[in-house]
Amino acid sequence: MAVIQPQPYISEQEYLEGELVTDIKHEYIDGEVYAMAGAHRNHVRLADNMLGLLLGHLKGKPCQPFGSDMKVKVGKNYFYPDAIIDCSEDEQDYYTENPTLIVEVLSKSTRQKDKTLKRDLYLTIPTLQEYVLIEQDFVDVEIQRRSNGWQSEHFYLDNDVHFQSIDLTVKVSEIYDRVKNEDMQQWLAKQAEIAQAEQGIGQ
């Protein structure tokens, strides 16, 4: 989700109190608050798809998935990822300091920040095992794992993605279900051609 111009410096407590009464979410970085702009339809679909997959897999299990209303605290900074998994028992009502997995959906306006400032801060979280970056304008799921020294792995249509921290395997096409970008349109057309050819063979 895009952020717009920062507001004047406020204290951490003022920020937390303000988030309880505002209709607009803000991220808090080094004492400045950044209002978050509305998200593109594809962004919302991707975030909802990921959260749905996580919820289904973790139902009845200790680890809990949360959507974009749950903040992640890193030091004195606060962010709103698109989805997280929290396996800790130390529960705060409005944020967590102990995510196991963080998901960010990328756009032109957020890509640089998500891949630099946020990444550098997120990777300092001791409990974090996987950082997931999902492109909305084209198909690319990038995963950085603690177990792999935070090296990037990329997954595309026709690939399966395994989230090691929660032992979940899904198809990239499930993550991008109903997302409208050029990669998905071409892939859907290809799937339709394959289905039509198979139907012709069966006749």
3-state class (DSSP) for residue 145 = strand
Q: What does the pLDDT average to over 179-187?
A: 94
Hey, what amino acid is at 135? Answer: E
In a domain? residue 33: no
Task: Report the C-alpha gap between 113 and 127 in whole angstroms.
Answer: 22
Task: Report the C-alpha gap between 106 and 179 in whole angstroms.
Answer: 14
Q: Which residue has the tokens 């109190």?
A: 17
In a domain? residue 63: yes
In a domain? residue 1: no
In a domain? residue 110: yes
Domain CATH number, residue 141: 3.90.1570.10
Q: What is the DSSP string of 97-124?
A: S-EEEEEEEE-TTTHHHHHTHHHHHHTT
Task: Report the C-alpha gap between 138 and 116 in whole angstroms.
Answer: 20
The pLDDT-based confidence of 91 (bands split at 50, 70, 90) is confident
Domain count, the chain: 1
In a domain? residue 199: no
In a domain? residue 51: yes
| φ/ψ of residue 117, rounded to 5 | -60, -50
Domain span at residue 46?
A: 39-191
Task: Report the C-alpha gap between 70 and 99 in whole angstroms.
Answer: 11
Q: Which residue has the tokens 């997302």?
A: 179
In a domain? residue 67: yes
In a domain? residue 164: yes
The pLDDT-based confidence of 203 (bands split at 50, 70, 90) is low
The pLDDT-based confidence of 147 (bands split at 50, 70, 90) is very high
Q: Could you read off the pLDDT of 12-28 as tens digits, one per residue?
A: 999 999 999 998 999 99
pTM score, two decimals?
0.91
Q: Is the pLDDT of residue 202 over 80?
A: no
Q: What are the b/e assignments for 136-167, b being 16+ CB within 10 Å?
A: bbebbbbbbbbeeeeeeeebebeeebebebbe
